[in-house]
Structure 1
Amino acid sequence: MHRDSLFDQDMEIHRITSNEIEAAQDLVSTLDESKKMKEALYDCAVNPASTNYGFVAKVMDEIIGAFVVSKDVNLEYYISHFHIQDQILIAEQDRKSHTRMIYSCVNPIFEKSTRYMLKELLRLTQKTCLYFEVNTATIIPTIFHELVHIRSRRFPHFLDRKWDHERFDSEDTKKKKEEDTRNKVDGCNRDPLDEKEAPFALCFSTRRMLSEAKIIKNARIVVVGASDTSISFIEALLSISYLQFTNIVLVAPGGLPHNHFVEKKENLKCYSTSYTTAELKKLMLESRVRVINARMVDIDRSDKNIVLHDDTILPYDTLILGMGIQDKTLNTLGYASRGIASTGDLQRADQILSIDDPHLYQHLRVGGSLINILTDKKRVKNCVIYGRTLHTYCCIQGLLQRGVKPEQIILAIPASECHVEENYDEVEERLKDMPFIYPEAFEDYSIEEKIQSLIESMGVTIIKNTRLIEIIEDPEEGLEAVLFKMLDIPDEEEEEEDLNIEEKSEGQESMGSNAAGTEEKSFSDENKENEAEYIKQKKKRKKNEKEVECRVLISAGHKDVDQDVFSAIHNNGLVYNGRLIVDKNFQTTDPSIFAAGSLCEFSGRYKALAQGKPLRMDRYNGREMGSRLARSVFDIYDTQANQEGEEELPSFYLPVGHGGVLPGDILYYHIKTTNPLLLNPNSEEVENRKSLTCDNLNGQKGHFIKFTFNSIGLIDSVTYMGSEEVVLQSLWSFVGLHENYLNQLTSRFEEGIIPNVVEFLSENWAIALYHEWFGDFCLRMRQSVQRMTDVQAILEKAFEMTKNGEGIAREQIEELKKYVDPKTVRMVQDETLEFIKTNMNHLPMYYIPQKEFE
């Protein structure tokens, strides 16, 4: 502590005067935006009509802080773009009581007095709410940690396009805009109905919040892995307004996922749909927690620390294991990916990569050694992508964006059981896990055919139904070729024949050089030994073996636990039985170690409580698991948390999904439920509804969408593929809805009335379905109508229909509708109008009669 900081009780804060301009400008001269701040302070001091206030904080006649705040804000923009209502009651606040911190600078010696300074600023300006915007280039100031992060809102859309709506502004609204523009109100040029997410993040505080001291938690919380679960866990901890965690560390191999690329089409992998890239950026995790780019290789439970790959020791009080499972194809062949230190007997080569390599984007960066090899026009080389998951197609797109020609890319698709069968003793167990550890690239075979035809037309070579059996390396050049076993060809020895010069030359031309148009290999007199060895190997090749020349190999196969993670778990006595075992509170056998995510599984003793639901966590949504994990950790660090333990196993409701950009800049998303209908656990669900599939995708333009339904009409999954961006949250909102919400879409599509489902779902009638609060509205309505007599009678009839495991057909639902009381219908209509009326700033396309507002 600096001795001058002891004089903070003598601090004085007041409006800046012309005599203090020079001293204040000297204070801010080291800032990146010093020029703009100097100009703003000067304007506040000499211009009485300035739109901002300028303040200085002084101790013993020396300026130790300078601030510029706005006189007013565009509150309507904040309300429509951020969840301000979560923090304050807007109606209870005076319209002129809001201000924005534009610039701030505090001498580091007096940082501990930041909260007092902010309270004084609000008092002197007669404001109650203070906002601070964080743009991409914003340097996080000292005041940041005294503020609360506010989640951004999104406008309801299906396709990412403007509403087809003729906008109407009332006379009052027009007058307000003109007045704000005339007075140059801060943010007056922003349109509250611009239908776009705000390009910045927003932080906030009030006079009351600043008067209530936050509870400081200095406990060392170490989170391993940058998965959805880990990010959601950290987000939940940081969202508690009365707690401040000062020592959260995120160990993220390769860094945070959204920092690897600028545009989606540059991504090399498919991705989870739990978080969008924009959401991750606005969380500002790099500014709120310490992020370490490293891999955990060991845990020391006795000393409470973890060991990183560079032998760094990282101590913890609470350890969160949130990493997922990784691609293991290379390990089955005795190799480790380039960015993973070789462990045990595993070999490593610079040109051999796994799709889950933490440094994949660094290795395949534009201008890097591997991309230079693949884009060298003088010596064209090939890249083999091996796998059958969605990653493979996204990787092709990523390579094309990096300048690799399609003729140099070879996609090798193995059989589904390749490299997996040795990990399972029972076939039934393997079949149960396959959709999660080695999922098909596409849930619809027609999509797979369409995409494969597209990439073949581009020039990409596809080898189907094969198995990688050998990686061939050159001692000097590294990776030289790979050897595949063609599973469609019987396993027979090739007859040995004397190879003449022509046959030899023909044999040297591999599949890879055919695909890329590379020059044939020629042997000089100096390497006759290599020629003889090559001929000898060719004689030994079987008919069902194919050698493919390549200089880069990327695998994207089945997933399992990372070897270092497994060793750390096993060597420290944590229970592992195919997955890391945790209790209902996500706690391992060590009370200071928690875990969640695809690496984990609930203990078998909860099987009865699970009621048929799987215990493995890779079946559930990672973001939802992270928030539930945070509840368990709250009990340790939050004295105000509910200490009553839940006896039941946590239930998960959010759907899961994945997506990516396919070759041709085609977007693909698949969202499905995690709670399939179980009317009768002992029998399979009855299929009484056809899926709805609408394919208007022609080449690289158009849309494809598919809905699947369960036996009572709820949407089980939705798949979208097209050239036009769709709003992910809107796809999510479909899963779990009843088909009747879709405005008779199924019957009208079958009759040919609706030729393009995607365009139909983008029309104005459907916009309310995509509103972020529509799900909460539906839940409230269900709870309300369930208490009504007529609805209870209908539910009893529905139960009778389904008690034997049978579903409810569409015709039966139409019959049940006849029993609904008109009063119930009127109540639902009134509540729907009230919902629209309350959210007119996001739903202006709906017409509400004027008398409804009176």
Structure 2
Amino acid sequence: MRTITSSGGVAEVINARRTESLDAQEIINLIQPSTRIVFGRVNVIYLLEKANLAVTLTNGRNEVVAHAAFVDYPNLDNVDQTCWESWLHSNYHSEKCTPLNTLFMHLFVALPDYYIGGAKEIIRTVFNAVPELYYIFLFVPNSAQLDPALEAIFEPFESRTGSTAARECAAFVCHRHHHCPVLHIRSARVQDHDDLTPLFTQQSDKLAVTYGDYFLAELIEAQDEENHALVCEVEGTAVGFMSLCSDINIKLLNECFELGPFHGLCKPHPEDILDPLTELQDEPEIESDRQASQKPGSGRSQQSDSSSLQGADVKVPAKVKTPEPLTAGAAESHSGRESALSDVSEPSTAEAPVGDDTNSNQKNMHRGSSEKSKRTGTTPVYKGALNAFCIQLFAIDEKYEMRSLDFLPYVFKLYPDRDLCIITVPHLVPEFPLLQRCVRAIPFHTSTLSQELYIFHRSGLLKSFTVRQAKSSDKPGVESLIKELDMHETILEDFEIFNQTRRDPDGTPVQAFVAEVLHQIVGIAIIRNEEDITYIRSHYNIEDFIYFSHHRQEEHGQIFHIVLNPIFQHNTKHFLKEILRLSDKSCLYYPVYPSYELDKNAFAHSLTSALNYMVPVRPRRQIVYPLEELGINAPARQVAKDQVKYALYHINRKLTLEPKVTINARIVVVGASDTGMSFLEMLVFCPHLRFNNITLISTHGLPGIHSDSENWKFLSTSHCYNDKDFALLSLRSWVNVVVGKMKEIDRTAKHVVVSEGRKVPYDHLILCTGQQYQMPCPTGADISTLLTNRELSVSPDQRYTGPVPSNVFTLNDDEDCLATYNWLQENWAQAEGNVIVYGNTIDAYTTVETLLSLGISGCYIHLAEPPLNSNVTCFNNFAVESAVQAALAAAGVTVYQNCILAQWNGGNNPEHITAVCFTTDTKPVQLQCSVFINLYKKGIDYDAFKAMNDACLVYDGRLVIDTTFHTNDSAIRAAGTLTKFPRRYHADQWSHSNFNSKEVGFHLATAMLPLFDPILHSVVDPPEDLDRLIPMYTGAKVRGGKLPGGYHYLHAAKPGIPIPLAAQMDHSTYGRDIITGSVKTGNYFKLHVNQYSKVETITCLSQESFPALNYLCLYGENEQLLNKLCDRFDEGLILDMYSFFKETWCLAIYHDRFIDFKNEVHQIMATRQDPDSFSVTEIIQQVVEEEGSEDPKETLKMKSEECNYRHPVERYVLNYLKYNRYHLPMYAQPGLL
């Protein structure tokens, strides 16, 4: 917030922020005739789409006061955006102007009273938001008179003699030093103490408490050749401080961080023991570059150079870094001194391997020193001198923090023999502007140190970073840059294709660009035209980031390869910005394929170092089209086609100067349940946040690592996630994975101990382990005495502690299912015995069906059902249950009810089971056994329970949480079926197990995001006396799978406490059932419509596959919306709901944006269309309050006609169909007939 003064002397508090598309109309209203004379006729929406930076000033009433748009090419129609630099240099004395430090104003508007103040504030904001920006140009026709407000900011720019451009337009320039000058850096003096003390005390009192009130003066006095103290001053006042030290604990750093790419922070030495793959390149080139950067007065060393930008709308407070032991982290990419300009970076620290699992992109494509060391069992030994110094203490006034980079040129002059500057900060400190120029080091997974390590190389100060189209002569430089990549041959092949034909084999145009520093190639990018943009638009939410209609087909490009030397990683966004400009593109996309497709897929791309700077694009839920019924009205092939699924990343011109908020807090999620996956999805898909330290601890790692196969889908599905969903999300790109089980939680040290004693530190621990099928424990009953279940003296729910027999399989996830499938494939042919399935859940029945589909005869399959825990069966529907039982009998499967496991092998050695005994309510059952598939009762894993209990987390049958997901430890949250609410809520029957797990995970993430997102306000916990109600979620509880008899099954119901169906139907408020077909004919379809005419339960049982995702969209809809479902059914017009819901009318309801459509219509109905009339909502309220109305519906219909809502609703319906026509071409629209 700042204050500007109008021409009339009125002070106005304004806020500077990024321009939003909703501002467009207000901006248009500010355009005056004089604006058009200076800037020409401007399409505001189009300009906002193509501008690299657009800034808006708003007042306290959120009204637009002023606006300006800036683009990376001149506002002249006769100047090509791809070559404006040569045009500018040939016509003006502009040798210092480069694409890196120059922008062009394309529009400025303001309220007349705030023209001068608004213009100055916007220019100040822009220079502050873009640290590397030094010049803003404005070109106006010679016939135009520049507004006095702009004349006060811009000065005429001198043209060259004979300039042709000067005859047509006048050039004006605005310099940084008039608005946000480069800070003056000098050595600190004791006299600076008085200026600096308030700066430190307002940020933290830790230093004063630890070292005394005069620690700063003592630190300044202690300066010598190894220790320096610097200040930055403005108008004679010190506004920032930096303390430097050359003494670094190299041993500790190398133990905790992957520093091989930085040559261990040491200089090369002949006795160094290095891996051959990490041998560094020849030294002379980088040595000359390093010396050039140190030249006194060099322009390269006087400017700071960054593309990690801080926007005006994101305020980062000044930070105080306290002296801490230097800690651990591993390099993101190669940047050792000798290899400074020849190595390549890894895409992001979030993709680094942690624990036993690794990110597939890195594993398959990058050969780093640490990975090689792990394979060979050797660790590099560095004998050379120290090549780094550290920043021990740093603080700067918030007003000047964007100029923190001005310290760096002076800092490196103090240590001319060292190339690396390092700084460590606590994990919970937000990433401030100085760190955005550094490379974040990757910690080893064994490191438990509580800080992040950032590294900056001297060569990063070089200002000669240029991007141009590649040439054939660049091949040697490109080879040198990429030779450490496993896919370097693929990159070279594509580079050769560009050099020879400029097109792919399929004819798609290809472009290649290189980044150069001092004539040495430090980056390579290869892109192609995105020919499949219709598929992308229809399958991904790219319209969250762009107005699609303002981008031509040829303006969409796909990144094939992008590699950038890590020393210049801070220029990644500038590299992308230049690629967009030089290729005449407005959008770039990058696909990430699932790991199991990388080898098979011809379009698998190479590693990208730019992934961190792009935004992940959410996939869209797709309609399952009845293509045969639609015929020529079906969507285009590009929309309806089925192809390899991939995650999509995106950047456009608007995002090139848009900062991300980096979160280094260590978030550890335990358990790969649906709740945990939903939580991770929410965090990963926050486009303006970058989470560097998300870790998943899971027994089998991330799900979805195998290609979809129906052969081993033993378990039912919740329809929350499937393999295709995981491919579309690519969580593996951002989540570190530790494969193992949680064994211990150390709340004091804040770490989790997993298998083999490994420690995983956390700042926020999220427990989502859920419940799993538990190993049954034989009761040991002597069946020779013919015991029944009632006579058992031992509980069947004891924990089994013995060895698990080799042919017993407990199925809890895909990995368990795959192991069972592989065992059956290898061993069943030789087996002579039975397959025993032990369980009474829907998973038991889907497992039996899978066994039958594998060719195992039903006579060998025995289903032993343990006693039910309640009077509600897994189907809770007599028709479904009878169909399944009949199918089991027809297949020859023997079913035993109320079975309790008594003995394995007659009580003998259970290493391999050959016989199983059960007690029942009548007589014991003894069966021969070749394989035992366990689907017994679900419970909380014992190791997880013990870890939580030993950590003194409140446990009452399940882990106790409050309504905001907190346990009794504020750093530990939990969600899902693992949890329960405290008894003080008096709702013991309600827990997260009653709700949709994906929805619970979504709300868990929503509750945590305010901790990290500066845009969101922290949610204050309700007072204890008001914290009495548990949260209620609305999403359907869903179960589905393939049952015996070949039945495809789907059940979606309102979340709640399970009640037998018969009891529900006896209730007066039950509503009604609509049923078509029957289980005998294999087309059973049941909808339960509640008393409010909304669909509350969906049950499908069919021997033909059906579009389950379509039918789930029916849940919660009013039956009137479903083409007057009840009326048509009562009239006998609906004989088969499977056919009914294939009809064209309902496809719009399945559309992923239909929910938004409904909300917009509700908004129209709730808004007065005319000041003198009522809204429909108000009319409804009046009718409800009028008790004397004989026919409320008729009265409502008559009065609502007076609200004039019909026309706006019809208009919005047509707009909805028109905008989504690529998905919904089957609907007729005006003008088509």
Equivalent position of 1:354 in the other structure: 810
Distance (Å, rounded) in 2 between the aligned partners of 1:693 and 1:321:
41
Equivalent position of 1:637 in the other structure: 1012
How far apart are 1:59 and its partner, in Å?
3.6
How far apart are 1:286 and its partner, in Å?
1.7
Secondary structure, aligned partner of 1:348 = coil
Secondary structure, aligned partner of 1:272 = coil
Equivalent position of 2:904 in the other structure: 471
Equivalent position of 2:735 in the other structure: 289
Residues 460 and 596 of structure 1: CA distance in aligned 2, closer, same or farther (over 3 Å): same
State the superposition RMSD in angstroms: 3.5
Query: Which range is displaced more, 382-391 or 624-633?
Result: 624-633
Equivalent position of 1:538 in the other structure: none
Distance (Å, rounded) in 1 between the aligned partners of 2:515 and 2:616:
25
TM-score, L = length of structure 1:
0.78
Q: 1:380 aligns with which of 829, 832, 836?
A: 832
Structure number with higher relative contact order (C-alpha < 8 Å, ≥ 6 residues apart): 1
Q: Is the 8 A contact 2:562 2:607 kept in 1?
A: no
Equivalent position of 2:1159 in the other structure: 779
Equivalent position of 2:1107 in the other structure: 727
Q: Is the 8 A contact 1:350 1:478 kept in 2?
A: yes
Q: Is the 8 A contact 1:653 1:675 kept in 2?
A: no
How far apart are 1:654 and its partner, in Å?
1.5
How far apart are 1:451 and its partner, in Å?
2.2
Residues 783 and 486 of structure 1: CA distance in aligned 2, closer, same or farther (over 3 Å): same
1:834 aligns with 2:1215: yes
Structure 1 residue identity aligned to 2:1214: L
Residues 697 and 108 of structure 1: CA distance in aligned 2, closer, same or farther (over 3 Å): farther
Residues 631 and 684 of structure 1: CA distance in aligned 2, closer, same or farther (over 3 Å): farther
Q: Is the 8 A contact 1:365 1:371 kept in 2?
A: yes
Map residues 412-423 of structure 1 onto 2, 5 A cutoff: 412-417=864-869
Equivalent position of 2:97 in the other structure: none
Equivalent position of 1:711 in the other structure: 1091
1:218 aligns with 2:670: no
How far apart are 1:798 and its partner, in Å?
6.2
Map residues 541-690 of structure 1 onto 2, 5 A cutoff: 544-606=923-985, 615-645=990-1020, 647=1022, 650-663=1031-1044, 665-674=1046-1055, 686-687=1068-1069, 689-690=1071-1072
Map residues 94-243 of structure 1 onto 2, 5 A cutoff: 96-107=554-565, 111=569, 113-135=571-593, 136-137=597-598, 138=604, 139-157=606-624, 161=627, 164-167=630-633, 191-194=637-640, 196=642, 199-243=645-689
Distance (Å, rounded) in 2 between the aligned partners of 1:778 and 1:345:
55
Q: Is the 8 A contact 2:502 2:511 kept in 1?
A: no
Distance (Å, rounded) in 2 between the aligned partners of 1:480 and 1:36:
54
Equivalent position of 1:539 in the other structure: none
Q: Is the 8 A contact 2:468 2:514 kept in 1?
A: yes
Q: 2:919 aligns with which of 452, 472, 485?
A: 485
How far apart are 1:639 and its partner, in Å?
2.6
How far apart are 1:87 and its partner, in Å?
1.7
Q: Is the 8 A contact 1:383 1:408 kept in 2?
A: yes
Q: Is the 8 A contact 1:13 1:120 kept in 2?
A: yes
- Residue by residue over 1:122-171, the C-alpha shift from the partner in whole angstroms, topping out at 9 and shown as x without a partner, is 23223332111223313542222221111122442366x556142499xx
Q: Is the 8 A contact 2:849 2:1044 kept in 1?
A: yes
Distance (Å, rounded) in 2 between the aligned partners of 1:78 and 1:261:
22
Equivalent position of 2:726 in the other structure: 280
Query: Which range is displaced more, 841-850 or 53-62?
Result: 53-62
- Residue by residue over 1:487-514, the C-alpha shift from the partner in whole angstroms, topping out at 9 and shown as x without a partner, is 2x3xxxxxxxxxxxxxxxxxxxxxxxxx
Map residues 714-793 of structure 1 onto 2, 5 A cutoff: 714-786=1094-1166, 788=1174, 791-793=1177-1179
How far apart are 1:761 and its partner, in Å?
0.5
Residues 62 and 480 of structure 1: CA distance in aligned 2, closer, same or farther (over 3 Å): same
Runs (5+) with no aligned partner, structure 1: 170-189, 336-341, 418-430, 490-543, 802-810
Q: Is the 8 A contact 1:54 1:67 kept in 2?
A: yes
Equivalent position of 1:310 in the other structure: 756
Larger gyration radius, structure 1 or structure 2: 2
Residues 373 and 87 of structure 1: CA distance in aligned 2, closer, same or farther (over 3 Å): same
Equivalent position of 1:256 in the other structure: 702
How far apart are 1:60 and its partner, in Å?
4.2
Map residues 87-98 of structure 1 onto 2, 5 A cutoff: 87-93=545-551, 96-98=554-556
1:78 aligns with 2:524: no
User: What's the % identity of the aligned pairs?
Assistant: 27
How far apart are 1:313 and its partner, in Å?
1.7
Distance (Å, rounded) in 1 between the aligned partners of 2:530 and 2:811:
50
How far apart are 1:813 and its partner, in Å?
9.1
For this pair of structures, how many residues does the alignment match?
Answer: 729
Distance (Å, rounded) in 2 between the aligned partners of 1:797 and 1:66:
69
How far apart are 1:588 and its partner, in Å?
1.1
Residues 382 and 796 of structure 1: CA distance in aligned 2, closer, same or farther (over 3 Å): farther
Runs (5+) with no aligned partner, structure 2: 1-261, 263-335, 341-456, 599-603, 782-797, 1060-1064, 1168-1173
Map residues 682-701 of structure 1 onto 2, 5 A cutoff: 686-687=1068-1069, 689-695=1071-1077
How far apart are 1:265 and its partner, in Å?
4.7
Query: Which range is displaced more, 245-254 or 399-408?
Result: 399-408
How far apart are 1:68 and its partner, in Å?
1.0
Distance (Å, rounded) in 2 between the aligned partners of 1:575 and 1:403:
48
Structure 2 residue identity aligned to 1:584: T
Residues 659 and 124 of structure 1: CA distance in aligned 2, closer, same or farther (over 3 Å): same
Distance (Å, rounded) in 1 between the aligned partners of 2:1000 and 2:902:
38
Equivalent position of 1:51 in the other structure: 509
Structure 1 residue identity aligned to 2:1102: G
Structure 2 residue identity aligned to 1:38: L
Secondary structure, aligned partner of 2:895 = strand
Distance (Å, rounded) in 2 between the aligned partners of 1:261 and 1:67:
30
Secondary structure, aligned partner of 2:1038 = strand
1:410 aligns with 2:862: yes
Secondary structure, aligned partner of 1:770 = coil
Distance (Å, rounded) in 2 between the aligned partners of 1:443 and 1:277:
28
Distance (Å, rounded) in 1 between the aligned partners of 2:1176 and 2:841:
49
Equivalent position of 1:455 in the other structure: 888
Residues 406 and 25 of structure 1: CA distance in aligned 2, closer, same or farther (over 3 Å): farther
Distance (Å, rounded) in 2 between the aligned partners of 1:708 and 1:36:
57
How far apart are 1:733 and its partner, in Å?
1.4
TM-score, L = length of structure 2:
0.55
Q: Is the 8 A contact 2:771 2:940 kept in 1?
A: yes
Equivalent position of 2:847 in the other structure: 395
Structure 2 residue identity aligned to 1:834: N
Distance (Å, rounded) in 2 between the aligned partners of 1:714 and 1:196:
33
Q: Is the 8 A contact 2:772 2:940 kept in 1?
A: yes
Secondary structure, aligned partner of 2:1149 = helix
- Residue by residue over 1:642-661, the C-alpha shift from the partner in whole angstroms, topping out at 9 and shown as x without a partner, is 12426375442221212122
Residues 73 and 656 of structure 1: CA distance in aligned 2, closer, same or farther (over 3 Å): same
Equivalent position of 2:874 in the other structure: 441
Residues 753 and 214 of structure 1: CA distance in aligned 2, closer, same or farther (over 3 Å): closer
Distance (Å, rounded) in 1 between the aligned partners of 2:995 and 2:1222:
34
Residues 644 and 321 of structure 1: CA distance in aligned 2, closer, same or farther (over 3 Å): closer
